[in-house]
Amino acid sequence: MTGNSDIEALLPRYFSGEATDEERMRVVQWVRESDEHARIARQIQQLCLAADALDVLERVDTERALKQVNARIDRARFRRLVRWTERVAAVLFLPLLALSLFLINNPEEPRMLEVRTNPGMTTRLTLPDGTQVCLNSESALIYPEKFEGKTRAVKLAGEAFFEVAKDARRRFVVETPHQAQVEVHGTKFNLEAFALDSIVVTTLLEGRVDFVSAWGNMPMKPGEKLVYHTHGNWMDKFLTDGEVESAWKDGRIVFHNTPFDEALRMLEKRYYVDFVVTNPEYGADSFTGTFTNQRLDRILEIFEISSGVRWRYVPRADKNEIKRKIEIY
């Protein structure tokens, strides 16, 4: 890990939401480097849990606070910065814990907000119209400070569970990185749309939605799961009660006759790891079970006992790698 001088230069970009994924991971790794860093993170986490991040942000002059952070970095060493940040609003350190929340200003358009979650963490927020959103690990949601016009539009990169406030006059639209979107009026659904994935998955629990893509418009009914394959521009639709797809928002992992590859994807998101499968014979396996606070090692041990799945951690080729790799062999 690089020294504190590098972190000093990186923190202002991290606070403002301008950091790249690689830079953001470096900050996350810094938090994990020592008990002292973890202690600071735990203190800030307690403050975060005790306050509504959006309400705090409305009471803080964010631009002025960021300028103060930059000035403080120019004048003092990193230890002084840490002591100072323990005394100011916790919202400035939210990116270290569960989310990044910053303003995007455009004088001709409504002010935009972005909420971003770090690996292994989730967060809940309420949109201006009363819509409830639970944002999964490594996900980002952009939305206006106030919905105007006939459409309530937000942008999602990652995974989120939406409970959309009913408004018969204004449809609610979720845009994704794959030129696909979900259009609703009032409903509950889970949407998975990670920028680097080749699928977009929508699971509808209540109400009605239309999934719109280059393929066309596909109406959905409650109890349906739609998988849009972006590379081939085709869709699959399945029946489901939605528990497997949405259990993550309650801190659970639920497998219900879940195919092997899908089970691994769920574990990757929850535990921030990459699986490398070198033995194709497990492809036909499926798993059933519910896990809450179990360590990943324990879950994989259960897989090994029930299905003979053999696994091992892959040694890091680069000591700066943050994601652990696990081989299924």
**Whole-prediction pTM:** 0.67
Q: Which of 106, 18, 24, 89 is nearest to 52 (CA)?
A: 89
Q: Using CA atoms, how far apart are residues 60 and 325, in angstroms rounded to an integer? A: 40
10 Å CB burial of residue 213 (0-12, 13-18, 19+) is: buried
Amino acid code (one letter) for 264: L
CA-to-CA separations, 185 to 96, 125, 173, 242, 264, in angstroms, rounded: 34, 19, 9, 19, 33
Q: Do domains 98-242 and 252-328 have the same CATH topology?
A: no
Q: Using CA atoms, how far apart are residues 266 and 105, in angstroms rounded to an integer? A: 35
Axis-axis angle for helices 4-16, 62-75 (nearest 10): 170
Give residue 276's Cα distance to chain centre: 22
Q: What residue ranges do the domains of the chain occupy?
A: 1-97, 98-242, 252-328
CATH fold label, 98-242: Jelly Rolls (2.60.120)
What is the predicted pLDDT for the residue at 316? Answer: 85
Q: pLDDT of the chain along its 329 residues, tens only? A: 445 556 656 655 554 456 576 776 776 676 566 666 555 544 444 443 344 334 433 444 444 544 554 554 445 444 554 454 444 444 444 444 444 444 445 556 788 999 999 888 899 999 999 999 999 999 999 999 999 999 999 999 999 999 999 998 999 999 999 899 999 978 999 999 999 999 999 999 999 999 999 888 999 999 999 999 998 899 999 999 999 999 999 999 999 999 999 999 999 999 989 999 999 999 999 999 999 988 999 999 999 998 899 999 999 888 777 889 999 99
Question: Could you confirm whether domain 252-328 is CATH 2.60.40.10?
Answer: no
10 Å CB burial of residue 128 (0-12, 13-18, 19+) is: middle
